Amino acid sequence: MENSGQARASARSVDLTGTKCPMTFVRAKVALERIGEGQALELVLLTGEQMQTVPASLKAEGHRIEKVTRDGEQFRLLVRKGAS
């Protein structure tokens, strides 16, 4: 799998594993801006700095982390968009 440093997105999933902080949160925020309030989005993050900062920042913005699953060094977060 090529890791170009760009966020890769499907219909409801954004792979941020190749993104460096602070752009990880910026790209997560942009992806959430593209969906409606109350809709869910899956974010794929790496263990370490991404998992230490992104979930806390999303919660502070009013979004809800509904599910976290771990697959080796990656985490999949199901995020429900809060009110804008």
Whether 5 has a pLDDT exceeding 60, the answer reads no
Q: What is the pTM assigned to this prediction?
A: 0.83
* Contact call for residues 66 and 40 (beta carbons, < 8 A): yes
pLDDT tens per residue, range 28-49: 999 999 999 999 999 999 999 9
* Architecture of the domain defined by 8-80: 2-Layer Sandwich (3.30)
Total Cβ atoms within 10 A of residue 6: 13
**Where are the chain's structural domains?**
8-80
